Amino acid sequence: MRKTSILFSLLIACATLPLFAAAADIPITGANTKISLSEIVGTPTMITVVLKDSNARDTNLKLLEVQPDRIIVLAPNGDAIPYMRDSIQEIEIQGGVVEQKRSVLLEAKMLRPEHQRVVERAWMRVREIFNDSADNQSIKIQAATLLALDENVEAHNYLRQLAESNDIETQLRASVALYLAGDVVSDTLLNHALDGGNRNARVMAARISGLTENNAAVPLLRVMFNDRAVQLSAPAARALARLGVTEIEPQLINMLFELHQEKGKAAIFGLSLLSDPQVVDQLKFRLQDADGMARFRLAETLFRIGDPAGLQELKDLSHQYPTLLPEAALLLAPSGDWESTQFLQNRLLRREDPTEENLTYRARNAKALLESGDSSAMAVFQELLRSDNDNITNLIFELMADLGQTRMITLLQPSIENVDSEFALNACNTVIALAFPEFRTRFLQYRQEFGSSD
């Protein structure tokens, strides 16, 4: 009798399981065809969550993760928000269309076969490094960034978990990785860091805010911009320029005349990006009384804006001040200036001590010549990739990404097989940047803010 009762109870339990499962399902409305949560998760599809009891509607969300008792969505400000399943009345598909996941691997089909083979090997190498880098968080984050590009769930979850950790600097490093992977970054986190007392976190948050168009950060960035410490004012200036805050232009012009190199670079970047016609007139006016480095910065800014006066001024300066010629030539040669091109070609033929400074200029020289159409300079890249100096090889990787020429992919095959994980990962990063333009664009923007070897 007891066995019969137990068997009956088990049968009842088994019979009710589908009912519980059905009760846990969340109705999905607004789509033309019947769909499930698994078809929405991880896609760019915009959804609205309608809550029970209150009928409150939370719009413009993306489904990140589905768990037995809850779903996790991405809010417009980049925050990951959980909703308990039993609190949800329904999920609406905004616009009625479920967008498909875009695999970056499919984009590789546009490459030539010899390039595609290297790209596929680069992906494999990144996975190997990701799996073997448990003891090196920096390497693991970099590998996870690349894998997250192709919707690798494990890598993406790893970055999300770090972005929600208790350490602010770790959260920000993970946020940079999410930006590079094409994901949304939390504005709430960035503003919290900008308003905190951790200087490193404030600097990182300022740089990320410019990249992610965090307009809510403008008041906090203005405070940083007015700080006397260049470590704070320079990144804030760049971020405000990215956010289109033209009111800082007079201060940026004054920064061109300051001795600190970082302030000068930030001013050139900001003014070039904003490129206000009224500012161009002011820059030309200030040229009349400027000399030395300040004059060069004014000329470079006008040149980067595209004003003819900048081109002519750089030429004049390179004649008047021979010490400025090497830097001026790097700017002028890609625009077709014959004298600058000749100078760079002759400089490559010169025998020089293999110091890091000389090798760095040699690499930048080759890049400028390649931009001018001199394909023979490619041999310099091949030569410097064999350097024992990691700073030089990393610079070559960066300059290759700058150029964006897919024909360089095959040159990187030996580098991605290097036994040094960091070296190989940097090479893989360059291969993937050359293969996938959207990632390359973000990577170049990232380098502008977080530094490069050139």
In the chain, what are the domains? 23-96 (2.30.30.100)
d(CA 215, CA 191): 10
Beta strands 47-51 and 88-93, pairing class: antiparallel
Q: What's residue 401's pLDDT?
A: 96
Q: Which residues pair with 91 in a beta bridge?
A: 28, 49
Copy the structure tokens of residue 408.
């360089």
Give the Cα separation of 128 and 126 in Å (integer).
5
pLDDT of residue 40: 85
What are residue 165's phi and psi, to 5 degrees? -75, -175
Predicted pLDDT of residue 19: 34
Residues with pLDDT less than 70, the chain: 1-24, 78, 100-110, 452-454
Q: Write 347-351 long-range contacts (CB < 8 A, 24+).
A: 348/377, 348/380
Tokens encoding 219 = 């008041």
Amino acid at 388: D
What is the torsional sign of CA 119, 426, 270, 454?
Answer: negative
CB count within 10 Å of CB 260 equals 12
pLDDT of residue 2: 42
The H or E element spanning position 88 is strand 88-93
Strand partners, 257: none
Length of the chain (residues): 454
pLDDT value of residue 13: 42
pLDDT at 453: 40
Of 321, 261, 271, 312, residue with least CA distance to 291? 321
Query: What single letter denotes the amino acid at residue 282?
Result: Q
Q: If phi over 0 gives left and psi between -120 and 50 gives alpha, with beta otherwise, what is residue 78?
A: left
Q: Which two tokens stand for residue 248?
A: 């800082």
Instruction: Concatenate the DSSP letters of all residues of 252-279 into one string.
Output: HHHHTTSS-HHHHHHHHHHHHHH--HHH
Residues 6+ apart with CB under 8 A from 138: none
Q: What is the pLDDT of residue 20?
A: 35
Residue 451: both structure tokens together: 């530094």
- Closest by CA to 439, choosing from 112, 226, 126, 66, is 126
Closest by Cα among 255, 163, 242, 162 to 206: 242
Token pair belonging to 390: 């990691």
How many helices, marked H, and strands, marked E, lie in the chain? 24, 6
pLDDT on residue 413:
94
